[in-house]
């Protein structure tokens, strides 16, 4: 069997994926990466890690996506020690104005994707008797979120799915946790909120108890403890990473 531990980063293209790939490479892991950029592949290699790439599997609601990541890891390394994934489709607006199409979108992006990922990643870890799974969801699932009721509700469902699986398999040696985020500094958030406008950014920051947005580098370091094998007495937890917003 491959000697080094192996981590799957299901989406190494966007959001925290590139930063997390480098963090895990520096932690001594070899990797399976979903659609990384050439810069990420180079950074991982410079950190001393081997990596295999899976293209066309970013949509984890598709039944074949997560199993393709698992198959690559098992074919390349013969083991999976950790897996981290993030999903999400945002629908904004009032509940009373929501459509069937809105519901279908958030169910697919926020529930089906999490279900299929958890199921795919858990099975080989259960067979091995150890492993760590981290689902990156949303802090909106931890509190009522005016203006995003369907998004908040389906994120809450995903968080509860994580907790249920974790307790179901708690005695197996496999940990399952989630981190829910909000107010993160990345291009999609800035574009969706207009945060590149200083006045809008100031208004956004007033909604965050810590008064700023979170960075990808600090988020990657926060995620590391859930998947790097150093803390194995934590499971079934959903933790907010949102500057105190969900407290």
Instruction: Quick: pLDDT tens for 1-45.
Output: 789 999 999 999 999 999 999 999 999 999 999 999 999 999 999
On whether residue 125 sits in a domain, the answer given is: yes
Number of structural domains (the chain) is 1
Q: How many beta carbons lie within 10 A of that of residue 48, not counting itself?
A: 11
Say whether 236 sits in a helix, a strand or coil.
Answer: coil
Contacts of 103 (CB under 8 A, 6+ apart): 150
**CA proximity to 136, closest of 8, 240, 61:** 240
On whether residue 191 sits in a domain, the answer given is: no
Range of the domain at 107: 6-185+214-241
Say whether 177 sits in a helix, a strand or coil.
Answer: strand
Do residues 131 and 173 touch, judged by C-beta distance below 8 A? yes
**CA proximity to 222, closest of 84, 102, 28:** 84
The pLDDT tens digits for 49-89 are 999 999 999 999 999 999 999 999 999 999 999 999 999 88
Q: What CATH number did the domain enclosing 131 receive?
A: 3.40.50.720
On whether residue 199 sits in a domain, the answer given is: no
Asked if the model's pLDDT at residue 192 lies above 80, the reply is no
On whether residue 202 sits in a domain, the answer given is: no
On whether residue 124 sits in a domain, the answer given is: yes
189 confidence band (pLDDT: 50, 70, 90): confident
CA distances from 66 to 58, 91, 119 (A): 9, 24, 9
| Cα–Cα distance, 61 to 115 (Å, whole number) | 8
**What's the confidence (pLDDT) of residue 190?**
84
């Amino acid at each position: 069997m491959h000697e080094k531990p192996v981590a799957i980063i299901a989406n190494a293209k966007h959001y925290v994926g590139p930063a997390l790939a480098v963090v895990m490479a520096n932690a001594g892991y070899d990797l399976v990466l979903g659609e990384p950029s050439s810069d990420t592949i180079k950074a991982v290699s410079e950190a001393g890690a081997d990596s295999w790439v899976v293209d066309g599997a970013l949509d984890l609601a598709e039944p074949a996506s997560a199993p393709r990541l698992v198959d690559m890891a098992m074919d390349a390394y013969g083991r999976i020690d950790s897996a981290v994934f993030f999903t999400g489709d945002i629908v904004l607006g009032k509940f009373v104005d929501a459509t069937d199409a809105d519901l279908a979108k958030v169910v697919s992006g926020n529930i089906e994707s999490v279900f299929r990922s958890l199921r795919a990643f858990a099975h080989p870890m259960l067979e091995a008797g150890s492993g760590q799974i981290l689902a990156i969801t949303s802090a909106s699932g931890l509190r009522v979120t005016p203006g995003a009721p369907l998004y908040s509700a389906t994120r809450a469902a995903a968080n509860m799915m994580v907790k249920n699986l974790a307790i179901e398999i708690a005695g197996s040696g496999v940990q399952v946790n989630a981190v829910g985020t909000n107010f993160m500094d990345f291009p999609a958030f800035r574009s969706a909120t207009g945060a590149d406008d200083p006045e809008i950014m100031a208004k956004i920051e007033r909604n965050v108890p810590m008064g700023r947005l979170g960075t990808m580098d600090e988020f990657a370091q926060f995620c590391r403890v859930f998947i790097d094998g150093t803390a194995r007495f934590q499971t079934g937890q959903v933790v907010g990473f949102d500057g105190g917003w969900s407290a």
